[in-house]
């Protein structure tokens, strides 16, 4: 195993709940409320056309992420809409992750606002896992000014379930020996990977709780959901999750996405949006010295359904022109579906990443054609700002709201 990737090898007793799932509460909206005292206690959403985050005051009125602004205001007429400030969110996230890593070296980030921590073996030095979790919550509140919920359990899955049950601003420890009595009464939607479609299939055959799924048997779940999903849910329903906390793993993809709202977009408008996303993603790839082979385009439609299309390139690249060509081919194939269902979000990621020193150069060994121009533009944008130089197609256009893409 690479020295850069470490797995938790806890010295905690095997019956000790030592895995923490720490999840910031309503992260984007909470940062806005922290930075503007006038927003505290009020229903707040962060919106770039569709709702990206909602405060708990807004959630109590029925407002949810991915909802349109019009629908949200209908539910909550006194809603406060904040423009996204992603630099502020990234800064807050980094401060919180610094606290995570100061708590234990075994931290596995899941997204900008949540992570798993393994605190096994720290009892003699720091205290029990529950005491560590309480101290972590207090420190995040004191030093960063945000509330964070923590679930503690023996498995990553159950720790995540516990934090979900404890929200908002809570701490829940699932003691060894009591896991199934805690887990089984919960609705099937608490199982990792159960969305609306899978939940509908389970409800249709009378399975409404995790305990129902556990009692159903693996063969029945496989026949209903397929081999992979059936096996996965059967294991989770019995709290069988052997995955360790893994740290130091380089991200598998680099991406960005844009929320579009519900206005219908022409093919030219969608192409313009794609150009902006490609510029942003490839610039980040070059800054990270990464190249990739698989281009993935993600779509979300008016009915909240999603679709993904991908294309694998012959060679790994970070060149804007190469990625843009692949994206345009994928968009062209998806246009009939977009026209029929309406597009509310467009996402792009490049996967199968490698270091840029892994690229095999072609003769005459003078570098990758076109890369010099990309790097020169990167330098200008780094020195003078991202708006210092742009494509003609993007002039006087609202590039829309770029949303950090969650890990795959």
Residues contacting 353, CB < 8 A, separation 6+: 250, 251, 252, 253, 254, 285, 290, 291, 292, 316
- What residue has token string 């030592």? 18
Say how far apart CA 169 and CA 297 lie, in whole Å: 35
For the domain spanning 22-123+130-154, the CATH number is 3.40.1170.60
In this prediction, residues 292-314 reach a mean pLDDT of 89
Residues contacting 5, CB < 8 A, separation 6+: 246, 247, 248, 249
For residue range 1-60, what is the model confidence (pLDDT) as tens digits? 444 445 554 444 457 899 999 999 999 999 999 999 999 999 999 987 678 889 999 999
- Report the run of H or E that residue 114 belongs to, with start and end: strand 114-118
Helix 320-341 to helix 267-287 angle (10° resolution) is: 140
With contact defined as beta carbons under 8 Å apart, do 350 and 253 qualify?
yes
| pLDDT for 231 beyond 80 | yes
For residue range 88-119, what is the model confidence (pLDDT) as tens digits? 988 999 999 999 999 999 999 888 899 999 99
Level-2 CATH architecture, domain 184-237: Orthogonal Bundle (1.10)
b/e per residue 88-112 (b: at least 16 CB within 10 A): ebeebbeebbebbeebbebbbbeeb
Say how far apart CA 347 and CA 288 lie, in whole Å: 20
Report the candidate in 24, 88, 85 with the shortest Cα–Cα distance to residue 56: 24
In this prediction, residues 64-80 reach a mean pLDDT of 89
Task: Name the catalytic one among 57, 108, 114, 179.
Answer: 114
Both tokens assigned to 292 = 């990739």
Q: Where are the domains of the chain?
A: 22-123+130-154, 184-237, 253-404
Confidence label for 262 from pLDDT (cuts 50, 70 and 90)? confident
Cβ neighbours, 10 Å, residue 288: 15
- pTM for the predicted model, two decimal places: 0.68
Say how far apart CA 88 and CA 366 lie, in whole Å: 40
- What residue has token string 């931290």? 107
CATH superfamily for 253-404 is DNA polymerase, Y-family, little finger domain (3.30.1490.100)
Both tokens assigned to 16 = 């000790």
Eight-state DSSP code of residue 190: G
Establish whether 269 is a catalytic residue: no
For residue range 350-382, what is the model confidence (pLDDT) as tens digits? 988 887 665 444 444 344 555 555 555 555 555
Q: What pLDDT does residue 400 have?
A: 45
């Amino acid at each position: 195993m690479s020295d850069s990737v470490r797995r938790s090898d806890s010295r905690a007793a095997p019956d000790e709940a030592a895995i923490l799932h720490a999840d910031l509460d309503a992260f984007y909206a909470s940062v806005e409320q922290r930075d503007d005292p006038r927003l505290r206690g009020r229903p707040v959403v962060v919106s770039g056309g569709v709702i990206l985050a909602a405060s708990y005051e807004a959630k109590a009125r029925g407002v949810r992420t991915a909802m349109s602004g019009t629908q949200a205001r209908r539910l909550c007429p006194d809603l406060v809409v904040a423009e996204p400030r992603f630099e502020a969110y990234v800064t807050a996230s980094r401060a919180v992750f610094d606290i995570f890593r100061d708590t234990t070296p075994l931290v596995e980030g899941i997204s900008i606002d949540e992570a798993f921590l393994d605190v096994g073996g720290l009892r003699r030095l720091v205290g029990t896992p529950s005491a560590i979790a309480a101290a972590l919550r207090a420190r995040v509140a004191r030093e960063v000014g945000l509330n964070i919920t923590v679930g503690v359990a023996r498995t990553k899955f159950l720790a995540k379930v516990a934090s979900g049950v404890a929200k908002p601003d809570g701490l829940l420890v699932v003691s060894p020996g009591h896991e199934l009595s805690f887990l089984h009464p919960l609705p099937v939607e608490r199982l990792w990977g159960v969305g609306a479609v899978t939940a509908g299939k389970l409800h249709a055959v009378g399975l409404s709780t995790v305990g129902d799924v556990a009692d159903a048997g693996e063969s029945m779940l496989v026949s209903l959901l397929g081999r992979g999903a059936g096996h996965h849910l059967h294991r989770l329903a019995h709290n069988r999750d052997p995955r360790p906390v893994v740290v130091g793993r380089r991200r598998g993809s680099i991406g960005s996405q844009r929320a579009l709202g519900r206005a219908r977009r022409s093919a030219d408008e969608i192409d313009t949006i794609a150009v902006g996303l490609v510029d942003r993603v490839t610039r980040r790839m070059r800054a990270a010295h990464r190249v990739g082979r698989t281009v993935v385009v993600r779509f979300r439609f008016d009915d909240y359904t999603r679709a993904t299309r991908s294309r694998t390139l012959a060679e790994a690249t970070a060149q804007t022109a190469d990625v843009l060509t692949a994206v345009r081919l994928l968009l062209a194939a998806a246009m009939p579906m977009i026209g029929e269902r309406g597009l509310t979000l467009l996402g792009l990621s490049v996967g199968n990443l490698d270091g840029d020193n892994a690229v095999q150069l072609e003769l005459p060994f003078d570098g990758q054609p076109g890369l010099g121009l990309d790097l020169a533009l990167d330098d200008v944008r780094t020195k003078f700002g991202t708006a210092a130089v742009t494509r003609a197609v993007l002039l006087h256009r609202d590039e829309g709201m770029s949303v950090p893409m969650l890990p795959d």
